[in-house]
Amino acid sequence: MPSSPPSRVRLGISACLLGQEVRYNGGHKRDPFLTDTLGNWVEWVAVCPEVEIGLGTPRPSMRLVRLGRGEEAEVRLVTPETGADHTAAMTTWAARRVDELAALDLDGYVLKKDSPSCGMERVKLYPEDGGAPTKDARGLFAAALLARLPHLPVEEEGRLNDPPLRENFIARVYAHARWRQNEAAGWTRAALMRFHEAHKFLLMARNQAGMRRLGRLLGASAKGEDTAALAAAYRSGLTEVMRRPPTRRGHTNVLQHLAGFVSDLLDTDDRKELTETIERYRLGLLPLIVPVTLLRHHARKLGVAYLHGQTYLEPHPHELMLMNHV
């Protein structure tokens, strides 16, 4: 079983989301979930690209502008009010800053949506002639961050208002923390197999075929094979599978698999209760936490050691109540 993640994980964040008054208008975009709930479990590393490249607060607003057409087109970060072009300053600073962040053992990052520096997707991109914008760009700092740290769980604060996306992001954060801790201890083929076994059902809920591909990757590896290359290939697959939020159908499939480990050990009434609880979850009548808690109870009471090591049953601190929505 992989080592437990630290009690506090370290996440990067757009500084305005913590309530820092660094926005162009001198205000902030404090997010109560991030500051008051998740903040109890997180050490935040706050970054404001505009302030860190030397722009004041308040300041004229900036936007992304497309210069040229087709493959020759360039995306520039400009201040329409003054005509100032901040592209070189931002890209030079961003390259240096993400190198610094890479050394901080981050387990995730929360970006400010729609920002020309921090927006992860669907950022407004204006044509050079000043016409209507498209929403198909990425902020310059966000682009540098995602390119430099492709396995880092990254999300925008707006998407975290969606309970399934919120739960999946935090599950990714803690899976990343467990991976990082095991990596620090040194990967062996056996350690990779233990990690996969502990995360098997967490992966299955998201993509059963992807989970099986990762299992085959490890199973086909030979003793003496380059462990670093094997770990890198596994991590790429792990990142891809964990990006996909699990569906109710995926969770139901996993719950039924896990029930199979305890069903024969239960009496008739307990077996019926477990089956009915999973079915009521499938129908949308119960939150996920109910069948998960019941399975944890039976696994502990019956001493089913295999289930004790399954991260699916406690992928993140239960105090966050991320599985409590219907």
Residue by residue, DSSP assigns 222-288 as -TTS-HHHHHHHHHHHHHHHHTSPPPHHHHHHHHHHHHTTTGGGS-HHHHHHHHHHHHHHHTTSS-T
Report the pLDDT value the prediction gives residue 232, as an integer from 0 to 100: 98
- 4 pLDDT band (50/70/90 cuts)? low
Share of residues in the chain with pLDDT > 90 (%): 93
Give the residue from 3, 8, 2, 1 showing the smallest Cα distance to 317.
8
Domain spans in the chain, listed from the N-terminal domain onward:
9-160, 162-242, 248-320
Residue 51 has pLDDT above 80, yes or no: yes
Q: pLDDT band for position 72 (50/70/90)?
A: confident
Asked if pLDDT for residue 5 goes beyond 80, the answer is no
Give the containing element (helix H, strand E) for 42. strand 42-47
What three-state secondary structure class fits 197? Answer: helix
What's residue 1's pLDDT?
Answer: 42
Q: Does the structure show a pLDDT above 80 at 3?
A: no
Q: In the prediction, which pLDDT does 33 show? A: 97
Q: What angle do CA 240, 15, 157 make, to 5 degrees?
A: 45
Query: 226-235, pLDDT tens digit by residue?
Result: 999 999 999 9
Q: How far is CA 63 from CA 118, 134, 218, 306, in A?
A: 12, 12, 46, 53
| Distance, CA of 104 to CA of 40 (rounded, Å) | 19
Q: What is the pLDDT of residues 118-151, one digit of tens each?
A: 999 999 999 998 889 999 999 999 999 999 999 9
Reading the block at residue 284, the tokens are 């949308």
Q: Give residue 2's pLDDT.
A: 47
The answer to whether the CB of 41 falls within 8 A of the CB of 102 is: no
Query: What is the overall mean pLDDT for the chain?
Result: 96
pLDDT of residue 309: 92
Question: What's the first-to-final CA gap in the chain, in angstroms?
Answer: 30
pLDDT of residue 185: 94
Greater pLDDT, 73 or 158: 158
Predicted local distance difference test score (pLDDT) of residue 71: 74
